């Protein structure tokens, strides 16, 4: 076998050596970036590197497939030709470039998200225009490309100087031996695909150690394959009928009645009052606005949100409020559908997301003018399709002429331009005599963190602090302009973060990183108040409809926060695979392979200790998540024509 590999297939060994060396260096660099969070005990580090080598080998087994197939079928006459010699050197140069480029890319992905490649990276491969523009604006691409080429050329120089490929390129081998060797090599990716489980890397409680033991390319491959997870296949399940019995008891309130005795039908009529209001609503979801940026949570970033800090004293402020996930579309989904997150991709990006029972449909039923307003191109993350097929008109970058754009980057127009468009669309709706709901999504607090210069005291493009402060400035300007409008006195302004600025942490689900602000403002309608009830994005729609005093049919899983009893308080957090349920200072996490874990938590200090699993907590978590997945899978949350 050694003789065989030292000849025609020697190049595979050479590729593998470079692949493993680059992966080792990358793993070490990433470890150094997060050394304060990593368990650096000798056995923990040994696990990181040994398991990491295993996943590197698995990843390489897929990477080598085209090389192996090529070497199997190329005849000796062509393999030994001068043309093939140059072709081989060029092919290896390209392969080494890919390997090195991946190592560099992992550095920046880790810097941004604190994890290996995941569903976000898969999305980035799909939305190349925004992503490539963002990368070009955020990083010194020419310098990085030059550095990669220098390293690659150095490797090739050593290979040529040491004549490491000469004997291989001059070797001869008969067809049968090539087939046997190639078949043996190709059996490795086949066996890996059938046997290797990506969750083998998820065996410790330290999230960073788990991520470091993975391989980035293999993580990307696994994320692509697991874009959607079937709850009943991967998670702990209970009897479905019993789940819905429990759910109906949980959802039943003094002001609601179920329409049917059918267990899986959670449709109910909610009564909020006798005099419904027709308030306009401007709903602003702010990119990555972690609660820790604001003073009410003891800002660790300095005073960078003066306008929002002032606004909270004049508003309904929800101080114990959580995002459901780590992406914009998860927050939008939770608000639109008032349902817990499902494992895998957001419903917004899944098939059959049209005509769903949603907050927007209820507004449309009452004659509201609905608009989804986005400063970028809304085909990103399927947002335009979802909202257009659930009652909204679309107003994205496509509908913003040049004279409405003063500044833009890869993700969209600056927040000031977006808010000016929101005001203009509100004026147009008001002129028709219709009440309106404008749902606006900001983009400025996103890498490359660029915005118009000269408005705040932090230079554009220098980091997240500046982006947050600029967004706060834009919100302050928007409120000032809105107050001059004839529709303002009859308009609720809702400001909510889509998710936090980061979701990395030592634990499976670092719940403190999910804490976000929810602010509802209008001084003529809303009495200032701080609400400290445990709640989350799934509760926004029922709460808003309660403020409007509407009586309506509901299929929502969320509850009106203002009417919550202590037993109603809970929150949902998730990260594609792990489904978290927070209640009574405890965090229960449901994971693939029917795993359950439980932690005692302190909302101000974080996870304090792992604790024995409590059946009551698990039952309620499963009730919510399994039922929500069942409803989604069986399309029981569709809008019935009224």
pLDDT digits (tens, 9 = 90+) for 282-335: 999 999 898 888 998 887 777 899 999 999 999 999 999 999 998 899 999 999
Rounded Cα distance between 100 and 106, Å, is 10
Return the closest-CA partner of residue 510 out of 298, 292, 360. Answer: 292
Rounded Cα distance between 597 and 289, Å, is 28
pLDDT (0 to 100) of residue 641: 67
pLDDT (0 to 100) of residue 227: 60
Neighbours of 397 (CB within 10 A): 21
Burial (CB < 10 A; 0-12, 13-18, 19+), residue 64, is buried
Task: Flag residues of the chain having pLDDT under 50.
Answer: 1-5
Burial (CB < 10 A; 0-12, 13-18, 19+), residue 516, is buried
pLDDT (0 to 100) of residue 2: 43
Rounded Cα distance between 350 and 371, Å, is 21
Spacing of C-alpha 217 from chain mean position: 19
Return the closest-CA partner of residue 500 out of 285, 291, 207. Answer: 291
The model carries a pTM of 0.79
C-alpha neighbours within 13 Å on the C-beta side of residue 50: 6
Q: Which fold has domain 277-569?
A: Alkaline Phosphatase, subunit A (3.40.720)
Burial (CB < 10 A; 0-12, 13-18, 19+), residue 200, is middle
Q: What is the 8-class DSSP label of residue 40? A: -
Return the closest-CA partner of residue 279 out of 494, 476, 561. Answer: 494
CA end-to-end span of the chain, whole Å? 73
Return the closest-CA partner of residue 545 out of 365, 395, 419, 394. Answer: 365
pLDDT (0 to 100) of residue 128: 60
Specify the domain boundaries for CATH 3.40.720.10 within the chain: 277-569
The answer for residues whose C-beta is within 8 angstroms of residue 585's C-beta and 6 or more apart is 600, 601, 602, 603
pLDDT (0 to 100) of residue 615: 94
pLDDT (0 to 100) of residue 5: 40
Contact 412, 376 (CB under 8 A): yes
- Peptide bond before 353: cis, by omega within 30 degrees of 0? no
User: Is the sign of the CA dihedral 615, 621, 627, 632 positive or negative?
Assistant: negative
Sheet of 552-554: strands edge to edge? Answer: 256-258, 268-270, 552-554
Neighbours of 198 (CB within 10 A): 18
């Amino acid at each position: 076998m050694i003789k065989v590999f030292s000849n025609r297939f020697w190049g595979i060994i050479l590729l593998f050596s470079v692949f493993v060396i680059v992966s080792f260096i990358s793993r070490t660099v990433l470890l150094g970036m997060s050394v304060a969070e990593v368990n650096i005990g000798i056995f923990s580090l040994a696990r990181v590197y040994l398991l990491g080598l295993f996943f590197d080998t698995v990843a390489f087994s897929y990477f080598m497939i085209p090389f192996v197939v090529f070497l199997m079928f190329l005849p000796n006459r062509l393999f030994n030709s001068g043309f093939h010699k140059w072709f081989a050197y060029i092919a290896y140069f390209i392969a080494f470039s890919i390997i090195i480029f991946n190592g560099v890319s992992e550095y920046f992905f880790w810097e941004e998200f604190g994890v290996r490649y995941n569903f976000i990276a898969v999305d980035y491969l799909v939305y190349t225009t925004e992503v490539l523009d963002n990368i070009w604006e955020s990083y010194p691409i020419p310098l990085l490309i030059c550095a990669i080429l220098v390293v690659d050329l150095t490797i090739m120089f050593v290979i040529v100087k040491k004549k490491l490929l000469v004997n291989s390129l001059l070797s001869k081998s008969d067809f049968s031996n090539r087939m046997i060797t190639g078949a043996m090599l190709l059996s490795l990716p086949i066996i890996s695909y059938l046997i290797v489980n990506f969750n083998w890397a998820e065996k410790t409680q330290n999230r960073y150690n788990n991520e470091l033991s993975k391989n980035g390319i293999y993580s990307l491959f696994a994320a692509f394959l697991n874009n959607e997870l079937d709850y009943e296949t991967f998670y702990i399940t209970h009897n479905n009928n019993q789940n819905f019995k429990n759910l109906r008891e949980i959802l039943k309130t003094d002001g609601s009645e179920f329409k049917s005795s059918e267990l899986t039908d959670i449709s109910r009529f909610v009564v909020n009052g006798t005099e419904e209001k027709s308030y306009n609503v401007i709903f602003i979801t702010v990119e990555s606005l972690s609660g820790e940026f604001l003073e009410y949570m003891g800002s660790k970033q300095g005073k960078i949100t003066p306008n929002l800090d002032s606004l909270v004293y004049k508003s309904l402020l929800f101080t114990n409020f959580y995002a459901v996930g780590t992406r914009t579309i998860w927050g939008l989904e939770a608000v639109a559908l008032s349902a817990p997150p499902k494992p895998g991709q957001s419903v917004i990006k899944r098939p059959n997301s049209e005509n769903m029972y949603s907050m927007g449909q209820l507004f449309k039923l009452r004659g509201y003018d609905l608009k989804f307003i986005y400063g970028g191109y809304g085909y990103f993350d399927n947002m335009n399709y979802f909202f257009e097929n659930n009652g909204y008109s679309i107003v994205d970058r496509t509908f913003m002429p040049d004279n409405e754009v003063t500044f833009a980057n890869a993700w969209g127009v600056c927040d000031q331009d977006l808010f000016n468009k929101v005001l203009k669309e509100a004026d147009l709706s008001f002129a028709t005599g219709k009440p309106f709901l404008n749902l606006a999504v900001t983009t400025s607090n996103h890498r490359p963190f660029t915005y118009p210069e000269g408005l705040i005291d932090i230079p554009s493009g220098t980091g997240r602090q500046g982006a947050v402060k600029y967004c706060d400035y834009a919100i302050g300007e928007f409120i000032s302009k809105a107050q001059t409008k004839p529709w303002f006195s009859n308009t609720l302004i809702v400001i909510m973060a889509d998710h936090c600025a980061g979701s990395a942490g030592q634990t499976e689900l670092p719940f403190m990183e999910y804490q976000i602000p929810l602010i509802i403002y209008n001084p003529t309608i809303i009495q200032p108040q701080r609400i400290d009830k445990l709640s989350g994005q799934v509760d926004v729609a029922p709460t808003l409809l309660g403020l409007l005093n509407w009586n309506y049919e509901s299929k929502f899983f969320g509850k009106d926060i203002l009417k919550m009893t202590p037993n109603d308080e809970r929150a949902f957090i998730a990260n594609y695979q792990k489904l978290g349920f927070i209640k009574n200072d405890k965090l229960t996490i449901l994971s693939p392979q029917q795993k359950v874990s439980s932690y005692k938590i302190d909302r101000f200090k974080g996870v304090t200790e792992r604790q024995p699993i409590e059946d009551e907590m698990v039952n309620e978590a499963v009730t919510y998540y399994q039922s929500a997945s069942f409803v989604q899978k069986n399309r029981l949350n569709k809008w019935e024509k009224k």
